[in-house]
Amino acid sequence: MFIVNFLSAFGRYLMLMGRTFSIPERWRMFLKQYIKELTQLGVDSIGIVLLISFFIGAVICIQIKLNIASPWMPNFTTGYTTREIMVLEFSSSIMCLILSGKVGSNIASEIGTMRVTQQIDALEIMGVNSASFLILPKIMGLMTMIPCLVVFSMAAGFVGAYASALVGIVSVDDLTIGLQHDFRQWFIWMSMIKSFVFAFIIASVSSFYGYTVEGGSFDVGKASTDAVVRSSMLILFADIFLTPLLS
Amino acid sequence: MIEIKHLYKSFEDREVLKDINAVFEEGKTNLIIGQSGSGKTVLMKNIVGLFEPDKGEILYDGRDFVKMTKREKVLIRREMGMIFQSAALFDSMSVLENVMFPLDMFSDKNEADRIKRAKFCLDRVNLAGAEEKFPGEISGGMQKRVAIARAIALNPKYLFCDEPNSGLDPKTSLVIDDLIHSITEEYKMTTIINTHDMNSVMGIGENIIYICEGRMEWQGNKDQIMTSTNERLNSFIFASDLFRKVKEANS
C-alpha cells in the first residue's frame, strides 16, 4: 500500500512538474512574479541565515577549541575544522534544512490557501496555466537565491568564529591560519551545486503539497507540515548521493 | 448560447449528475436553482471545465467543449468570466491589480490602456476610488463587485456566477443581482448563475433550470415558476414562508 501511494504521489508530482516547466504565457508577468519570489523567498531569508550561521560558526569554533583540541594537534586545527564544517556541510545542507522549514511552509501554505479559496480555479478559468504561473517563479527564484544564501552563510560563520576569537577563546592568528590552511575552491562550488539541487527540492515538493491540497484550513496546515517533512527527508537523501558524487 | 446534452457525472460510485439537458440563452440571465447538494456547483464546474463529465456534450455556440483540445479549451476560457462564491480575489494584489490581471495576461494593450480599462470596469461596478485597497480591507459585497469587474475586464461572451449572493445581506444581494443582470444585457453575454436565493429567482430569473438530486426537474422563467405544478419544485420554492404567503395572496 505504501509503495502504491508513493508511486501515485510521485506520478502526480511528475505531471505537475510537466505542467510547471512550460514557457510562460507572458514574460512580463513571469518576471514580475520572479522578482517577487526573489524577495519573498530569498532576500527575506537573509536575516535568519546570517543570524544562525554567525552563532553556529562561533559555537563550532568554541567547541573545537575547548573540547577537541589537544597539545598534540596543531594550533590551526580549530580554524581549519570550523571552515571545513561550515563550507562542506553546514552552509549547504543544514542551512537548506532550516530553509525548508521557513520557505517550504511558506510556499505550501500560500499555494494551499490559494487552492482552498478557489484562487487557483479562478486562474484556470481565465485560461492561465496556474502551475506554471505560480510554481515556476518560486522554483527559479529559490534556485537563484539559495546559492547566494549559502555564500552569505559561510561568511557569517567565519565572522562568528572571529567573534569567538575576539573574546579570547582562540587566537586570531591561529584562526586565520586555520581558515586558510589547505583551502580548496572546489568545496565552495560543491556546496553551491548541492544547494542548487536542494532549492529545487524545497520549492517543487512544497509547491506540490500546496497545489494538491483539498479541504480547508486544517488540510492547508497538514500540507504545510508534510511539505517541510518530505522536503527535509529528500534533502538528506540527496545529500547522501551528492556528497560522494561531487567529492 | 450554451447547450448541455445528456450530461452525466459521478464521483466514484456516487452519481451526481444524471442526464442533464439544458439550454442557456444568449443575452439572458440563466439561473440554475436547487437545494444544497443537488449538483448545481458540479454542473457549473463541468460547464466551465473544472470537472470532466463522464458522458454528454457541452456546446458553446455549437462547439463541443468536452471534445476540444487543451489549446482550444485555453482559448475558449479567455471568453469566460467567473464570479466565485468566495469572490476568489488574489489577496496579494490590490483591487486594481486584481481587475488588471486578465488584461495583463491576455491583452496586447499598453499599460496606460490596461489601467484605463480596469478603472472603467471598476467604475462600472461603482467601485471608483477603491483601486489601491486590498481584498482583505473591503466588505464582502465590494469583493463580489471587484470579482464582477475582473470577470468583465476582457469583455467575455460567457459569464458564470456561483452563488454570487452567498453571505450578503438582502439589500447588497439586490445590488449584485441588478449589476449582473444589467451587464448581461449590456454586453449580450450568456450568463449562468447558480443560486438558491429566491429573491434572485424572482428578480432576474429570465431562464430558470431547477435541479433536484442530480436531475433536471423543471425549466421555465420567473413568471411561470409561481404557477408550476411540479411538486418537487413547489416544495423547494415554497419552503420559504414569504413565498407561501405571496402564492396564497396571488391565488
Domain ranges in chain B are 2-79+158-250, 92-155
Average pLDDT, chain A: 93
Note the CATH architecture for domain B2-79+158-250: 3-Layer(aba) Sandwich (3.40)
* ipTM of model: 0.84
Average pLDDT, chain B: 87
Residues of B in contact with A19 (CB under 8 A): none
Closest of B210, B202, B204, B201 to residue B231, by C-alpha = B210
What is the distance in angstroms between the Cα of A117 and the nearest Cα belonging to chain B? 6
CA nearest to A24 within chain B: B105
As a whole number of angstroms, the distance between CA B16 and CA B143 comes to 30
Query: What confidence tier does A215 reach under pLDDT thresholds 50, 70, 90?
Result: confident
Beta carbons of B84 and A25 less than 8 Å apart: no
Sign of CA dihedral A103, A104, A107, A109: negative
Residue of B77, B85, B89 lying closest to A126 (CB–CB): B77
Residues of B in contact with A127 (CB under 8 A): 73-78, 80, 106
What is the distance in angstroms between the Cα of A183 and the nearest Cα belonging to chain B? 46
pLDDT, tens digit, for every residue of B117-162? 999 999 888 888 889 999 999 988 889 889 989 998 988 899 999 8
Instruction: Return the residue matching grid coordinates 518560486.
Output: A138
A168: phi then psi, degrees, rounded to nearest 5: 95, 10
Q: Give pLDDT, residue A34.
A: 95
pLDDT, tens digit, for every residue of A5-31? 889 999 999 999 999 999 888 899 999
Residues of A in contact with B105 (CB under 8 A): 25-26, 29, 126, 128
Helix (H) / strand (E) element for B70: namely helix B70-77
B81: Cα within 13 Å, side-chain hemisphere:
29
Query: What confidence tier does B251 reach under pLDDT thresholds 50, 70, 90?
Result: low
At CA B217, angle to CA B212 and CA B221, rounded to 5? 115
CA nearest to A111 within chain B: B90
What percentage of residues in chain A have a pLDDT greater than 90?
82
- The separation between CA A233 and the C-alpha centre of its own chain, rounded to angstroms, equals 13
State the distance between the two ends of chain B, measured CA to CA, in whole angstroms. Answer: 35
Residues of B in contact with A129 (CB under 8 A): 74
A232: Cα within 13 Å, side-chain hemisphere:
16
Residues 80-109 of B with CB under 8 A from A: 80, 82, 84-86, 88-91, 101-102, 104-106
Sign of CA dihedral B76, B81, B87, B92: positive
Q: Would you say A88 and A189 are in contact if contact means Cβ atoms under 8 Å apart?
A: no
In the structure grid, which three cell numbers stand for residue B54, read together?
463522464
- The separation between CA B16 and the C-alpha centre of its own chain, rounded to angstroms, equals 20
- DSSP class of residue B157 equals S
Question: CB pairs below 8 Å between A and B: how many?
Answer: 53
Alpha-helical segments (H) within chain A? 2-20, 27-37, 46-63, 77-85, 95-99, 105-116, 119-125, 130-166, 172-180, 185-211, 217-246
Bridge partner residues of B60 (DSSP): B2, B63
Q: Give pLDDT, residue A25.
A: 85
B35 vs A: CB within 8 A: no
pLDDT, tens digit, for every residue of B16-54? 999 999 999 888 889 999 888 888 889 999 998 889 999
Buried (b) or exposed (e) across A113-144, using 16+ Cβ within 10 A?
bbbbbbbbbbbbbbbbbbbbbbbbbbbbbbbb
In the structure grid, which three cell numbers stand for residue B47, read together?
460547464
Buried (b) or exposed (e) across A177-200, using 16+ Cβ within 10 A?
ebbeeeeeeebbebbbbbbbbbbb
Residue of B78, B89, B104 lying closest to A127 (CB–CB): B78
Alpha carbon distances (Å) from B29 to A45, A209, B50, B139: 50, 39, 22, 25
A interface with B, Cβ–Cβ < 8 A, is 25-26, 28-29, 114, 117-119, 121-122, 124-129
Bridge partner residues of B15 (DSSP): B10
Mutant choice from B44, B72, B74, B192 vs A, greatest count of A C-beta within 10 A: B74
Beta carbons of B105 and A122 less than 8 Å apart: no
Do strands B207-212 and B29-33 pair parallel, antiparallel, or not at all (unpaired)? parallel
